[in-house]
């Protein structure tokens, strides 16, 4: 799906087709025109006796109108809140056990392994980060990573460099247009490191990029909310789904290659430094170090918050 129109059309179709249960997790749910369309579709589903469970971010969805919440509750929709997650976790004793191994998916006539992966600073889970490390360690020929706010930490950079050194072709797709200027400058400061390690860089040109997915060797892919940076790795609750199936992964890889071909511009070392002066590099360095400091303070705060529970 490319962009919001495709996504919301599909989402509404799924909700209107549901017969038994709907589980919807999202970061932002507003009461604007689009939000109301989805809210009404969920009400229709509840009216058909479909069990509806909604999980929202307590910060990003704080402006969801009370009217919508009251309508959902009156219809029997379950609005799961952050406190319930915390209470359930501490009641269970905070186990760090990986509860989501590979399980068979329902795909006719072929094997499809699927696993849900979580990064959750509350529960001490770092599963999605491990998926990315696994990808760079196991890849034999090629990797494509599409990521907004691409600022990998030292552990992931080491595995990226090792993969490139053994001959894996790595393509990184980032946004050519950004809604966070300091993040964009910090990303660009990373280009020098990527060039030195023979990793290809492509900038998406059509609009702001918010996609987050990766695929390797045409056999494995991951998709979800995880950004390749320190906040997603250590200070956010993120959810991804890993899929191991050659047919599906190959179709994802083909789609990403088409996006690279038709909607991206490759940034080469020669062209980049020809158009980037010393002052711009200085600004990028300042942005990069500022972001690193903010990431450190942010993750340190949440670590202290967790340890105080």
Reported as a single tens digit per residue, the pLDDT across 4-16 is: 888 999 999 999 9
Q: What would the two tokens of residue 162 be?
A: 């090792």
pLDDT band at 95 (very low <50, low <70, confident <90, very high): very low
Burial class (CB in 10 A: 0-12, 13-18, 19+), 154: exposed
Residues 6+ apart with CB under 8 A from 174: 147, 148, 150, 187, 201, 202, 203, 204, 209
- Considering just the CA atoms, what is the radius of gyration of the chain in Å? 21
- Distance between CA atoms of residues 86 and 67, nearest Å: 26
Closest CA to 7 of 211, 214, 243, 261: 211
What are the residue ranges spanned by the domains of the chain? 8-86, 103-295
In this predicted structure, the answer to whether residue 301 has a pLDDT above a threshold of 70 is no
Q: What would the two tokens of residue 67 be?
A: 């009217």
Q: What is residue 72's three-state secondary structure?
A: helix
- Distance between CA atoms of residues 66 and 53, nearest Å: 17
Least confident stretch, 82-86, 226-230, 270-274, 303-307: 82-86
Q: What would the two tokens of residue 99 be?
A: 């509860």
3 state SS for 22-68: EEEEECCCCCCHHHHHHHHHHHHHHHCCCEEEEEECCCCCCCCCHHH
* HSE, side-chain direction, 13 A CA sphere, residue 149: 18
Mean pLDDT for 100-110 is 58
In this predicted structure, the answer to whether residue 90 has a pLDDT above a threshold of 70 is no
Can 8-86 and 103-295 be said to share one CATH topology? yes
Highest mean pLDDT among 72-86, 119-133, 139-153: 139-153
Which fold would CATH assign to domain 103-295? Answer: Endonuclease; Chain A (3.30.870)
- Distance between CA atoms of residues 295 and 164, nearest Å: 26
Query: Model confidence over 38-66: pLDDT tens digits?
Result: 999 999 999 999 999 998 887 788 889 99
- Distance between CA atoms of residues 254 and 250, nearest Å: 6
Q: What would the two tokens of residue 274 be?
A: 């020809």
Mean pLDDT for 182-206 is 91
**Mean predicted lDDT score pLDDT of the chain:** 85
Strands 169-175 and 142-147 come out as parallel
The CB density around residue 272, as the number of other CB atoms within 10 Å, is 15
pLDDT band at 153 (very low <50, low <70, confident <90, very high): confident
Q: What pLDDT shows up at residue 136?
A: 96
pTM: 0.80
Q: Which CATH superfamily is domain 8-86 in?
A: Endonuclease Chain A (3.30.870.10)
Mean pLDDT for 25-48 is 94
Residues 6+ apart with CB under 8 A from 17: none
Burial class (CB in 10 A: 0-12, 13-18, 19+), 43: middle
In this predicted structure, the answer to whether residue 186 has a pLDDT above a threshold of 70 is yes
- Distance between CA atoms of residues 36 and 38, nearest Å: 5
Highest mean pLDDT among 60-74, 180-194, 221-235: 60-74
Phi/psi-derived region of residue 129, left when phi > 0, alpha when psi is between -120 and 50, beta in every other case: alpha
In this predicted structure, the answer to whether residue 100 has a pLDDT above a threshold of 70 is no
Query: Model confidence over 260-300: pLDDT tens digits?
Result: 999 999 999 988 888 788 888 888 889 888 877 877 777 66
pLDDT band at 305 (very low <50, low <70, confident <90, very high): low
In this predicted structure, the answer to whether residue 98 has a pLDDT above a threshold of 70 is no
């Amino acid at each position: 799906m490319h962009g919001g129109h495709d996504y919301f059309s599909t989402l509404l179709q799924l909700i209107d087709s549901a017969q038994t249960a709907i589980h919807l997790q999202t970061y932002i749910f507003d009461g604007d025109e689009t939000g109301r369309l989805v809210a009404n579709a969920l009400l229709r589903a509840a009216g058909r006796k479909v069990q509806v469970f909604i999980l929202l971010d307590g910060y990003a969805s704080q402006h969801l109108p009370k009217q919508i919440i009251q309508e959902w509750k009156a219809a029997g929709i379950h609005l799961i809140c952050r406190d319930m997650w915390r209470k359930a976790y501490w009641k269970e004793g905070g186990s760090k056990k990986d509860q989501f191994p590979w399980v068979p998916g329902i795909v006719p006539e072929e094997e499809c392994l699927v696993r849900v992966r979580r990064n959750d600073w509350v529960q001490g889970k770092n599963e999605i980060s491990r998926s990315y490390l696994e990808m760079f360690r196991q890849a034999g020929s090629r990797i494509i990573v599409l990521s907004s706010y691409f600022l990998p930490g030292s552990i992931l950079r080491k595995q990226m460099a090792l993969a490139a050194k053994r001959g894996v072709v790595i393509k990184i797709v980032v946004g050519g247009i950004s809604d966070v200027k300091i993040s964009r400058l910090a990303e660009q400061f990373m280009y020098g490191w990527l060039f030195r390690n023979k990793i290809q860089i492509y900038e998406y040109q059509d609009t702001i990029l918010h996609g987050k997915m990766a695929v390797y060797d045409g056999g494995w892919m991951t998709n979800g909310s995880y950004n390749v940076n320190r906040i997603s790795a250590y200070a956010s609750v993120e959810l991804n789904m890993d899929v191991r199936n050659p047919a599906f992964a190959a179709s994802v890889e083909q789609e990403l290659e088409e996006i690279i071909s038709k909607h991206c511009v490759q940034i080469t070392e020669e062209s980049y430094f020809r158009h980037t002066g010393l002052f711009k590099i200085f600004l990028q360095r300042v942005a990069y170090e500022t972001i690193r400091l903010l990431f450190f303070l942010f993750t340190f705060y949440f670590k202290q918050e967790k340890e105080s529970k």
